[in-house]
Structure 1
Amino acid sequence: MAHVGFLYPGYSAEDDYPVFEELLGGDVRLHLVHTLMREDAHRVDALLDVGGSDVLGEGARELRARGVDAAVWACTSGSFVFGWEGARAQADAVGDEAGAPSSSTSFAFVNALTTLGIGRVAIAASYPEDVAERFVEFLGAAGIEVVAWAGRGIVTAAEVGTLEAGDVLDWVAAGDHPEAEAVLVPDTALHSAAILDTLEERLGKTVLTANQVSVWEGLRLAGAAAPRDGLGTLFRAGAGTAAAAER
């Protein structure tokens, strides 16, 4: 059985992870450790604090105690705000403390897109626009073209976690663009586990959500990313050639 650990900031859509575990079947165990969120705000200074080494180090050491096979910092904004090199150093530090291969949600998006051979995307972000723009810049550093993006302007993760499935479907569909090969939804505070196939049916293309790519990345690092149904195009593809995207 593969044991994958996740550092999850605060409380908002943490109940997505038991849903993923159930849908994945009986050969995977997902371990969630909640990390400190001193201020729940999609604001650059607050996000830099959320992803600070003191906060993540404490959580990663708990994952080490649980003996996980891989560790993922399950926060998109709390990783990409550090820039490409800063996010890489952040993920590496998590791995050092956890004693396991490591990554973050931001890199999970890049690795997922590489696996699927996708280079042009649209972004439906829940964040304020100044934060969403930093995700655009992060993807650009990986050579990914963003053909359209918009921030919904939601300041707190707690509010994002209250969005209903119907609202999410309409909002993500509105964020699509004809030239985009996929739509990215970068916020682990958003519930998505139960609607991944529905999202793709609605848009007629690949949709990647933050909790989805986080779980996939953890399984990939743990060597357990065999193709699986019911969780969107990404999981049907399995691990593919994602290793080529690692930096």
Structure 2
Amino acid sequence: MKFSANLGFLWNELELPDAIRAAKAAGFDAVECHWPYDVAAADVTKALQETDLKMLGLNTRRGDVAKGDNGLSAIPARAKEAQAAIDEAINYAVEIKAQSIHVMAGFSSGPEAHKTFIHNLNYACAAALPHGICILIEPLNHYDAPGYFLTTTNQASHIIKEVNADNIALMFDCYHVQLTEGDLSHRLADLMPIIGHIQFASVPDRGPPDHGEVNFKHVFRIITQLGYKAPLGAEYKPVGPTQDTLGWMSKHA
């Protein structure tokens, strides 16, 4: 197995370039992040070059976090802001050679929200395609993100089919899918043709994958049997120093 360190959670007490270096020292095969925009892209690029790690992906900005935003792209009244966030993400991704962008939908619902999300995803796919960047969409569970527009893998699958672009795919987060749908093995098998990235964390506490209700030894074996070879994203919340939570890696490497 290959693993990617999600630096939105792991080593998040460090500046992003130093977190990249820490991930390399810990034996990760790649890195990914959430919102790197306050860090100079040149500094991130330097750290990636030093460590020979790839940045798998980043997220579009959430919007006004103080007012409760968690993405913009499915909010009808904020399409211009959403597209500005998409442009910003693409420009940053190009500079650091990131492979994908998670376009965050936000808190919304109904037909107009769906229409707006499709419109913005079409915009994102068209803008990202010349750069070889994949656009990802990710269902979030209703415990952590109540009211989020995109909630299930079935909904995501239908959206991906409607957009019908070569560079759109599903971010399959085992943590979110287990809380919302369960049945991880069958969901992975059914959805593998449209999966662009896989993430994991224990359920229900979103800790490292060495405890909780999901047997990740089994899940990782299923992913391998399905032919998925890209690094899996460790997007969990460590309690204490990240370095002290990495015992699981040696068991699954």
* TM-score between the two structures when normalised by the length of structure 2: 0.36
* TM-score between the two structures when normalised by the length of structure 1: 0.37
Query: Which has the larger strand fraction?
Result: 1
Quick one: higher RCO (CA 8 Å, sep 6+), 1 or 2? 1
Which is greater in Rg?
2
